[in-house]
Amino acid sequence: MLMKTPNWSVRRPAAPADGMPTGIAVGLGAVAMVAAGLVAAAVPADHPAPRFTVIAVAVGLFAAMTADQVALAVVAPIGFLISNGFLEDRFGQLSWHGSADLWRLMLLVSAAALGLVVGDGYRWVRGLRAYRHSVRPATRPRQVAAGGRLSHLLTKEEEHGA
């Protein structure tokens, strides 16, 4: 007896709901991380926390704006590598700084998660507002001036006083 097995593979769309393809988002995110690295390089080297904060904020903003988790999984390590190679060390030389790098990685993951939450919350509120405004005014309840009763509950004779 031959049986046809169902296709169990999960296919995800090539682009998130907003329509930006993941590859474009990764490219824009990489450019944003390089720009954040240039801005962070302007901060004096004896202030490492504010220098890394610029990178973390850029990762959080990217997460909030795109809401693309796949692109974020590529862009966040780029931000860490730029921070490690150019802000902590010199000329792109990567090295491990022990527990300090673990804390920086945790901060980047937290900034990315917070950015995703803020971006999804914004999209949810925007969707609620769009739904509320898409309801036709004729389906909304109207109040009658006298008595404050809802007019959609009244029959035509009651509205005219008959």
Q: What is the pLDDT of residue 129?
A: 85
* 4 torsion bin: left (phi>0), alpha (psi -120 to 50), beta (else): beta
Q: Residue ranges per domain, the chain?
A: 22-139
| Residue 115, CA atoms < 13 Å, CB-side half-sphere | 23
| pLDDT value for 97 | 84
- Residue 143, pLDDT > 60, answer no
Whole-prediction pTM: 0.70
- For 136, the token pair is 């036709």
For all residues of the chain together, what is the average pLDDT? 81
pLDDT in tens, 17-50: 556 899 999 999 999 999 999 999 999 989 989 9
CA angle 26, 29, 31 (to 5 degrees): 115
150 φ/ψ angles, rounded to the nearest 5 degrees? -80, 125
Average pLDDT over residues 86-99: 85
